[in-house]
Amino acid sequence: ARVDLASCHFAASEGDGSVVYAEALWDHVTMDDQELGFKAGDVIEVMDATNKEWWWGRILDSEGWFPASFVRLRVNQDEPMEDYPMKAEDGKEEDASIAARRYGVGQISKDQMRTNVINEIISTERDYIKHLKDICEGYIKQCRKRADMFTEEQLKTIFGNIEDIYKCQKKFVKALEKKFNKDHPHLSEVGSCFLEYQTEFQIYSEYCNNHPNACMELSRLTKVNKYVYFFEACRLLQKMIDISLDGFLLTPVQKICKYPLQLAELLKYTNPQHRDFKDVEAALNAMKNVARLINERKRRLENIDKIAQWQSSIEDWEGEDVLVRSSELIYSGELTKISQPQAKSQQRMFFLFDHQLVCCKKDLLRRDILYYKSRINMDDMEIVDMEDGKDKDFNISVKNAFKLLCRDPEEVYLFCAKKPEQKQRWLKAFENERKQVQLDQETGFSITEVQKKQAMLNANKQHHTGKPKGESVTRPYYDFLMRQKHPTLPTNLPQQQVFMLAEPKRKPSNFWQNISRLTPFRK
């Protein structure tokens, strides 16, 4: 239970010298200058806790709002609770256990702390299941009854694969409850559950990648009053809290971010001798990897817009779009290409994508303009490092050279770099290209035809309207999130409070900028 700090704040403000401290349980990453950023373990001086959700605090000379659910109150940082008698309101000393109950803090034993974390994992999981059920039954079911308002394709755009997530989470919570030791919660062995479901949790990748599309489709629909009234009727009928649908749909994104944080906290209070220790340690790494994979897939999807823009800037493009087979630019640079039969040499720009190497020529006058020349299918190639000296195939002397050998039909491509280190970078890039292709096959990464076509459409529009090439085509999504304000939100609270759905509560507006900065996802 969260302790009400209002009385502590007023006591401190009356000048009695008392200070209330809190310890951060989670990293709080923020780009908002009114919010206080911190890392797990940081000590925060709590200055105002009159609001249940957001507190005002200070670390060194920084002050700002922070989510109350991210911290645990501390009475004293150095001395154990038992040796720290508290003053009750009548001035008498208070027993430590009573003080602990009053303040909800203290140096509680590791077992008690582990019990708290286990209880939080189980209770938040049950809350989350109810939340998913409310979305599936309160919104999707009702929307399907209104074929006059929604097509199945629209529902797929708005809700993504949330029904699949609901099915997966129902099985997961049952597995967790089986491992929950009601009599002695600290003895519960839950690590194996996360290990068992780590592969299934990858379905969140599809949901996270679709989330920007969901927001934009909702933004479009809610410009029409009948949709606003319909969604509000769905919410009221399901007795859901007063938050708009786009807020509810953010929760799965937040949930998958929370697992590594919860497991890190659980590991902190699990003794190495505990039967669950190794599984929790492995589960933490597994869930970090799931989050990394989701983040990486998100980055890759954003990359396809850049690749489409790049292709639209190339003159005389021939053949299929680069996105038909590729989704990642691995490396690029200038090389000398030597062709048979006359061993003719040409300076060319090369762009190595997964599955293909694209060759372009620079304009003689405008060096920033590139002309398409050819491409090589990397799936059929073998890379051969060459020693400096005479090459028997081409009958010329070469330096910093390597070959690409095509198995079928037999073709040989000879390339020379200007410096030895450039050659080494290319050889490493070819190695990385094969690793990327293999990883994509193993993880089942693919880009849909719709996504490819949309990226090319966006790029061609930008190219023809003369917009700067560096401008992000995903920008409307961020603008949409930044504009969101709930009409009933009190003006004296941070506007982000409307988005606080999961525990710990996170804002959506800077999600994709922040996620890569969160410690658990750092490579």
CA gap 21, 31 in Å, rounded: 24
Query: With the C-alpha atoms ordered 310, 314, 320, 325, is the resulting torsion angle positive or negative?
Result: negative
Residue-level pLDDT at 493: 35
Could you tell me the pLDDT band of residue 455, with boundaries at 50, 70 and 90?
A: confident
Greater pLDDT, 90 or 195: 195
Could you tell me the pLDDT band of residue 457, with boundaries at 50, 70 and 90?
A: confident
Residue-level pLDDT at 367: 73
Residue 28 Rama label (left phi>0; alpha psi -120 to 50; beta):
beta
> Considering only 25-34, 265-274, 376-385, which range has the smallest mean pLDDT?
25-34
CA gap 214, 203 in Å, rounded: 16
Could you tell me the pLDDT band of residue 20, with boundaries at 50, 70 and 90?
A: confident
Neighbours of 29 (CB within 10 A): 19
Greater pLDDT, 302 or 9: 302
Phi, psi of 15 (to 5 degrees): 85, 25
Nearest to 261 by CA among 121, 67, 72: 121
Which structure tokens are listed for 370? 């590139």
Neighbours of 344 (CB within 10 A): 9
Residue-level pLDDT at 439: 87
CA gap 204, 199 in Å, rounded: 10
Residue-level pLDDT at 74: 60
Q: Report strand pairing: 71-74 vs 62-67.
A: unpaired
Question: Please, what is the end-to-end C-alpha distance for the chain in angstroms?
Answer: 35
Residue 512: half-sphere exposure toward Cβ, Cα within 13 Å: 21
The gap from C-alpha 348 to its chain's centroid, in whole angstroms, comes to 37
Could you tell me the pLDDT band of residue 463, with boundaries at 50, 70 and 90?
A: low
Nearest to 208 by CA among 125, 291, 294: 294
CA gap 37, 399 in Å, rounded: 53
Which residues are paired to 375 by β-bridges?
358
* For residue 470, pLDDT beyond 50: no
Query: Using an 8 Å Cβ cutoff, are 267 and 280 in contact?
Result: yes
The residue length of the chain stands at 523
Who's near 374: CB < 8 A, 6+ residues apart? 358, 359
CA gap 181, 121 in Å, rounded: 13
Residue-level pLDDT at 503: 32
Could you tell me the pLDDT band of residue 491, with boundaries at 50, 70 and 90?
A: very low
Greater pLDDT, 476 or 50: 50
User: pTM for the full model?
Assistant: 0.56
Percent of the chain predicted with pLDDT > 70: 77
H or E segment at 337? strand 329-339
Q: What is the mean pLDDT of residues 467-477?
A: 39
Q: Report strand pairing: 356-362 vs 43-48.
A: unpaired
How many helical (H) and strand (E) elements, i.e. helices and strands, does the chain have? 16, 16
Cβ-based burial of 434 (10 A; exposed 0-12, middle 13-18, buried ≥19): middle
Rounded to whole angstroms, the maximal C-alpha distance in the chain is 100
User: Per-residue pLDDT tens for 250-299?
Assistant: 889 888 888 998 999 999 999 999 999 999 999 999 999 888 888 887 88
Residue-level pLDDT at 23: 83
Cβ-based burial of 119 (10 A; exposed 0-12, middle 13-18, buried ≥19): middle
Query: Using an 8 Å Cβ cutoff, are 193 and 172 in contact?
Result: yes
Could you tell me the pLDDT band of residue 31, with boundaries at 50, 70 and 90?
A: low
Phi, psi of 46 (to 5 degrees): -85, 120
H or E segment at 351? strand 344-353
Helices (H), 444-501: 449-465, 475-483
User: Per-residue pLDDT tens for 435-447?
Assistant: 999 988 887 777 8
Q: What is the mean pLDDT of residues 155-167?
A: 95
Greater pLDDT, 470 or 466: 466
User: Per-residue pLDDT tens for 109-137?
Assistant: 788 889 999 999 999 999 999 999 999 99
Which structure tokens are listed for 286? 């597994």
Average pLDDT of the residues of the chain: 78
Who's near 505: CB < 8 A, 6+ residues apart? 53, 67, 69, 254, 499
The DSSP output letter for 198 is: T
Contacts of residues 383-392 at CB distance under 8 Å and 24 or more positions apart, as own/partner, are 383/427, 383/430, 383/431, 385/427, 386/414
Q: What is the mean pLDDT of residues 451-459?
A: 85
Who's near 488: CB < 8 A, 6+ residues apart? 242
Could you tell me the pLDDT band of residue 466, with boundaries at 50, 70 and 90?
A: low
